[in-house]
Amino acid sequence: MDARIFGDAGKHLVIEECSVGREMSVHVVTDGISHVMLPIAQDHKRIGEGDTGLNTGGMGAYAPAPFATDALKDQISKEIILPVLDAFRKEGIDFRGILYIGLMWTKSGPSIIEFNVRGGDPETQVLLPLIETPLIDILQAVREQRLGEIKVKFKDSHIVTVVLAAGGYPGTPETGVPIEGLDLELPDTYVFHAGTAEKGNRVVTSGGRVLSVTAWAPSLEAARDLAYQRVAKIHFAGSQVRRDIAARLTLE
């Protein structure tokens, strides 16, 4: 607060109860009447392996989370999603779109961390490839308030995304650093650009979280291995990568 590293946002202090447990990302698509819960994803917020160091925007994610049983999803739906959507309607809020709910699963059940009316990042990179139903069909149904009339299908796959962050992140990131290996493609993988820019005929870093390497496979272990194989092909000075994405798969 003295250094004002967060600007005016650092003028005030908010004291909240600490929720201890496993964080999970719940995404709901709703047309205001019906809703569809997307596969539950697991984000990795801390910069360091073993969930150490400063918080970031997210250093990787995977879906579907193996600990997200049908019973757990039913509990989240009954205790959180349905009451929230019902409250929207009671207050005259015609909400149509994506509701992102950040939860901490504690010993006493789900504890709400935050709500966003957008997809999470990097969770979106693992959720969109899992949706088998054409996205445009889902969005059109949401717009026309007929989501309950379509069957949203998901692929029987597991997806992992690993973030490559710039040196200095989550503080002041190093920018303008050339990135090598983007042309070394690998089947069943994709590289999402975030903090990149073109400088002449080269791609360079231009932000904190530079790239997200996403891979999909029949099993979570295979998807994880494939993602790190693609990560190993990409190089830039000072890059930061967590090597434990999708390594902790239980609620304990």
Res. 3: pLDDT tops 90: no
What mean pLDDT comes out for the span 62-86?
A: 93
Asked if residue 62 is part of any domain, the answer here is yes
Q: Which of 155, 170, 201 represents a domain boundary (last residue)?
A: 155
User: Domain check: are 27 and 89 in the same one?
Assistant: yes
Q: Which of 155, 185, 220 represents a domain boundary (last residue)?
A: 155
DSSP assignment, residue 233? T
Number of domains, the chain: 2
User: Domain check: are 213 and 124 in the same one?
Assistant: no
Instruction: Give the rounded percent of residues in the chain with a pLDDT score beyond 90.
Output: 83
Task: Give the predicted TM-score (pTM) of the model.
Answer: 0.89
Alpha-carbon gap, residue 169 to 211, rounded angstroms:
13
What mean pLDDT comes out for the span 97-113?
A: 91
User: Domain check: are 206 and 148 in the same one?
Assistant: no
User: Domain check: are 142 and 164 in the same one?
Assistant: no
9: confidence class by pLDDT, cuts 50, 70, 90? confident
User: Domain check: are 42 and 148 in the same one?
Assistant: yes
User: Domain check: are 72 and 96 in the same one?
Assistant: yes
Res. 250: pLDDT tops 60: no
* pLDDT for res 251: 53
What mean pLDDT comes out for the span 97-101?
A: 96
Asked if residue 208 is part of any domain, the answer here is yes
Asked if residue 117 is part of any domain, the answer here is yes
Contact 147, 138 (CB under 8 A): yes
Asked if residue 15 is part of any domain, the answer here is no
Instruction: Give the rounded percent of residues in the chain with a pLDDT score beyond 70.
Output: 98
User: Domain check: are 202 and 94 in the same one?
Assistant: no
Q: What is the CATH number of the domain that holds 173?
A: 3.90.600.10
Half-sphere exposure of 209 (CA within 13 A, CB side): 21
Q: How many CB atoms lie within 10 A of CB 210?
A: 28
Question: Which residues are within 8 A (CB) of 128 and not within 5 positions of it... i.e. 6 or more apart?
Answer: 119, 135
Beta bridge partners of 154: 131
Asked if residue 103 is part of any domain, the answer here is yes
Find the domain containing 174 and state its range.
157-243
* pLDDT for res 19: 84
Res. 57: pLDDT tops 60: yes
The pLDDT mean for the chain works out to 94
Asked if residue 66 is part of any domain, the answer here is yes
Beta bridge partners of 164: 211
- Report the range of poorest mean pLDDT among 1-5, 79-83, 123-127, 235-239: 1-5
List Cα–Cα distances, 185 to 3, 62, 175, 201, 235, in angstroms: 44, 21, 24, 19, 14
User: Domain check: are 205 and 136 in the same one?
Assistant: no
User: Domain check: are 87 and 201 in the same one?
Assistant: no
Q: Which of 127, 155, 183 represents a domain boundary (last residue)?
A: 155
